[in-house]
Amino acid sequence: MAKPGSAALAGDRLLAYTTLAPSAFLLLLLSGVPTITVFVTATQSVSTGDSSGPFVGLDNFLWAIREPMFLTALWNTFVWVFGSVVIEMLLGLGLALLLNQSFKLRGAARAVILAPYLIPTVVAVLTWRYMLHDIVGILNVILLDLHIISHPLLWLNSPSLAMFTVIMVGVWKFFPFAVIAILGILQSIPQEQYEAARIDGASSFQQFWRITMPYILPVFLLTMLLRTIWTFHKFDIIYLMTGGGPLDATTTLPVLVYLKAFDDFEFGRAAAVALLTFAILAVLLAIYFVLIRKAEARQ
């Protein structure tokens, strides 16, 4: 029993599917196929430039969790993500609070702060590598002249310093994102809330903890979530700065995937590491989402 208008409805459906089909096809081709391929490759032993090899089940995964290199990369990833995100968020919060005050040239200051975010990564990294060079780099020259250090520091060539250096460059490149996000929410806080609090007797510190922080918390956490995802799978900065070295000191999971695949041509193992990376990230995201839900429920 056809309801009145169901023919027209079916026609609408057809039109919808027809117009959606090209996009769906592209999405499947560009995202679906590679994803499935990774799953398939991860169960195969591929150790040449070939695209497939014999089926080995979970061997690649078992290899990964026993491989010291993988555990090193996992640890490096946590250091890289934790260090970058914590510093970026604190710096972002501080600068956003500062830029939210009214002062001369505030507009100019806001524009300047954005600059690192807009510079292409390759340009930024090459410039930094030059500035960080142990002999001719400007940083060592200045620190030596000021007698802060007594001998040139190997910023990128010392295993104990390299991760710190890469984190600092990453922070420099990406903290503007946190500034902009936090500044946006700061500007939406009604001024009367602070005026009411001043009359009610709240100090500047109490105004910050009891009004500003609760107000910006959901945006703060969301920004932190995004920065965590993006930092977790960041590849270009690290690889261009150090290539994962020295002595694996800056080999994070995405760098390891690249090295396994394109240095060692072990595509099966690379795929397994990529999937493990994905799984770890998924767990982190789940935790974050719970936190954000809680923060938003408090609003």
Sign of CA dihedral 187, 188, 193, 195: positive
What is d(CA 13, CA 225) in angstroms, rounded to the nearest whole number?
37
Q: CB atoms < 10 A from the CB of 274, how many?
A: 22
Helices 68-99 + 213-232 axis angle, to 10: 140
Q: What is the total count of residues that contact other proteins (CB under 8 A)? A: 19
What is d(CA 91, CA 240) in angstroms, rounded to the nearest whole number?
24
Q: Which is nearer to other proteins, 50 or 200 (CB)?
A: 200
Q: For residue 67, which of 284, 259, 281, 282 has the smallest C-alpha distance? A: 259
The site string for other proteins over 142-181 (x = CB under 8 A, - otherwise) reads ----------------------------------------
User: How near is the Cβ of 90 to other proteins at its closest, in Å?
Assistant: 22
User: Which of positions 209-248 make contact with other proteins (CB under 8 A)?
Assistant: 210-211, 214-215
55-74 burial code (b ≥16 CB/10 A, e <16): ebeebbbebbeeeeebebbb
User: Which of positions 183-202 make contact with other proteins (CB under 8 A)?
Assistant: 190, 192-193, 195-202
Q: What is the distance in angstroms between the CA of the first residue and the CA of the last residue of the chain?
A: 50
User: How near is the Cβ of 130 to other proteins at its closest, in Å?
Assistant: 48
Q: Which is nearer to other proteins, 40 or 295 (CB)?
A: 295
Q: Which is nearer to other proteins, 145 or 192 (CB)?
A: 192
DSSP 51: S
User: How near is the Cβ of 294 to other proteins at its closest, in Å?
Assistant: 12
| 3 phi/psi in degrees, rounded to 5 | -75, 155
User: How near is the Cβ of 299 to other proteins at its closest, in Å?
Assistant: 5
Q: Which is nearer to other proteins, 72 or 207 (CB)?
A: 207
Q: Which is nearer to other proteins, 97 or 202 (CB)?
A: 202
- What does the binding site for other proteins look like in residue numbers (CB under 8 A)? 190, 192-193, 195-203, 206, 210-211, 214-215, 298-299
